[in-house]
Structure 1
């Protein structure tokens, strides 16, 4: 079981959902529809929190989160289904790459034990934040580039 504390939900879960849906808008080259964006963020954050409470193993939660993300991008944000699936997969891959870079840095540069870090929720949030920040920076730079080139469209 991958239970998270309410503090982790607030400090990691909500920002991660904000970045995911921002990435969805960036990758689909759509201008952000703020009401839809915020509704999606809240629904995904709560869904991820609830999925983490289920007695399932690693990996299963990621697939369920991806499915919910795709459903929300289609139903709430009105993205086409195929575009939502592609976007969801790209976002998950980018997130895993950023997390891999972060894990490499923690283990081989900082020489920290991940098992010890993940036992303490505060340390876990502190040490996993760089991957979310890296991911957010990539998406922000991409979105600004699209905005400057006037490539963003309204849904």
Structure 2
């Protein structure tokens, strides 16, 4: 079981959802419709929290997470299914790369014990925020560039 606290959902899950769905809008070249954007983000965060309560391993949670992201993109944001799949895979890949860079920095540069960090919810939030910040530093400027160039529909 990969249980996470409500604090982690609020401080990590919701911002992650906001960035993921902004990335989906950028990749599919759609303007953000605020109601749909916020609804999909909140649903994604709540479902992620509920998924983590299930007695399943991390790989299964990742696959379910991707399926739910795609479903919310199609059902709520009205994206094409092929574009949603493409966006979901690209976003997850960007997140994995940024998490990998972050883990490398924590273990080899900061010389911290990853097991201790992952066992403490507050430490986990603090030490893994840079990876979310990195994803945001990629997604937000990309969306803003598309918006400025009027490439969003």
TM-score by length of 2: 0.98
What per-residue deviation string (whole Å, max 9, x for no partner) do you get for residues 71-117 of structure 1?
00000000001100110000000000010010011111101110011
2:40 counterpart residue number: 40
Residue 110 (structure 1) aligns with: 110
Q: Following the alignment from structure 1 to structure 2, what is the Cα–Cα distance between the partners of residues 119 and 43?
A: 26
Structure 2 Cα separation of the partners of residues 145 and 37 of structure 1: 19
Structure 2: state its 5+ residue gaps. none
- The corresponding residue for 2:101 is 101
Give 1:17 shift. Answer: 0.7
1:132 maps to which residue? 132
1:1-155 matched pairs, under 5 angstroms: 1-153=1-153
The alpha-carbon deviation at position 145 of structure 1 amounts to 1.3
Structure 1 length normalisation: TM-score? 0.97
Distance 1:143 1:65 in 2: 23
Q: Deviations over 1:106-142 (max 9, x none)?
A: 1111011100111111000000000000001100111
Quote the Cα distance in structure 2 between the aligned partners of 1:74 and 1:97.
25
Structure 1: gaps of 5 or more residues: none
The structure 1 segments of at least 4 consecutive aligned residues displaced by more than 2 Å after TM superposition are none
State the superposition RMSD in angstroms: 0.7
Number of paired residues? Answer: 153
